[in-house]
Structure 1
Amino acid sequence: MVTIYHNPACGTSRNVLEMIRRSGETPMVIEYLRTPPDRATLLGLLDAMGKRPRDILRRKGTPYAELGLDDPALSDAALVEAMLAHPILIERPIVATGRGIALCRPSETVLALLDHPVPSFTKEDGETVGPAASASR
């Protein structure tokens, strides 16, 4: 099963979703701004990715600065609280498959998580990517 924490307003997220679908998967799509993860889910995703909250904290287009989240002294717990209160602060898309869980930025990161990745994919911006290109990075 493939799960994507998706924001349909995000081009990267749309590209990832389309790569998943073209690989033959029918993902569970969670529009995380409408259905935010709860604390246990968010902490589980972070743990599975081997990331800390600041690693998946979105700055652009969010209340990041207004909330003072640029303070390096803020604890992981405080950052998680901010993400739970303001899900827009969670960077996207996050994809979970049997192969692992990853923040898929850039979008071609998802290819390593898929059993049958597309040989090539043209993103919305016109860039063509594929597993060989991802492996050489």
Structure 2
Amino acid sequence: MSGAGEFVIYHNPACGTSRNVLAAIREAGIEPRVVKYLETPPSRAELEALIAAMGIPVRDLLRRQGTPFAELGLDDPALTDAALIDAMMAHPILINRPIVVSPRGVKLCRPSQAVADLLP
């Protein structure tokens, strides 16, 4: 995920929220490591670690709009966390963004103002 003290953003440059969060981090004087997760998706272990660090249910990390969410039937409450993670691994566009890793914690920064909790 990140070295001690390092900021990392799992970023999609096509996403306005992701661009706003990256700009806010840079405006705070921090140059984060930018992971374009659609080009370089996290490994399963990294994704599981991010979810655990955020303390959110796996389902809360699923992106619904502009993804194969509906076609894959991911709204089925019977699907296990493992099945949902399998879907995110097969289709990284399903991973909601931006995820920010910081010395203050890990957070899905939607809305973009949520990044303020992670900045010094």
Q: Shorter-chain TM-score: what band?
A: over 0.9
1:55 aligned to which of 48, 60, 65: 60
2:35 aligned to which of 30, 46, 70: 30
TM-score normalised over the length of structure 1: 0.83
2:118 aligned to which of 80, 94, 113: 113
State the secondary structure of the residue aligned to 1:42.
Answer: helix
Identity %: 65
Structure 1 residue 102 corresponds to structure 2 residue 107? yes
Tell me the number of residue pairs that the alignment of Structure 1 and Structure 2 aligns.
115
Query: Which structure's relative contact order is higher, taking Cα pairs within 8 Å and 6+ residues apart?
Result: 2
- What amino acid is aligned across from residue 55 of structure 1 in structure 2? D
Which structure is larger by alpha-carbon Rg, 1 or 2?
A: 1
Q: Report the Cα offset of residue 62 of structure 1.
A: 0.1
Q: Report the Cα offset of residue 52 of structure 1.
A: 1.8
What residue is the counterpart of 2:22 in the other structure?
17
Cα deviation 1:42-91 (Å, max 9, x = unaligned): 00000001112101100000000111101110000000000000000000
What residue is the counterpart of 1:89 in the other structure?
94
Q: Root-mean-square deviation (CA), in Å? A: 0.5
| Structure 1 segments unaligned to the other structure (5+ residues) | 116-137
CA distance in 1 between partners of 2:113 and 2:57 (Å): 22
